[in-house]
Amino acid sequence: MSGDHVRNTGAMWASPRCGAGTRSGTACRAPAVHGKARCRMHGGAWRSGAPRGNQNARTHGAFAQDGIAERRAIRALLDETSKLLIELKPDCGPEESVG
């Protein structure tokens, strides 16, 4: 019954292929998902990958210039305070703690 059946697979084999590198070193031969360059197993699945736009580049502002300047000012204030505490309590030896 299936011996005389003509398979119409030309369009299937003409579809674009994934091409992702496999562990064996060859290219993946699975068909790519419509509108994408990879197959469903290599990142072509719906909602896979990074979000659109530059959402991944948003930072928390810890390295912004105003944040760095604020931390430097706080550090200078803390240094000045610790020096003042040492001056106010000169009889404090190394075995005693300030505070």
Phi and psi at residue 71, in whole multiples of 5°? -65, -35
pLDDT-wise least confident of 5-14, 53-62, 73-82: 53-62
Burial of 17 (0-12, 13-18, 19+ CB in 10 A): middle
Q: Each residue of 65-85: pLDDT tens digit?
A: 888 899 999 999 999 999 999
In angstroms, the CA 91 to CA 88 distance is 9
Phi and psi at residue 49, in whole multiples of 5°? 95, -175
Domain boundaries, the chain: 1-47, 60-90
Instruction: Give the number of other CB atoms < 10 A from CB of residue 19.
Output: 14
Q: Evaluate if pTM is beyond 0.95.
A: no
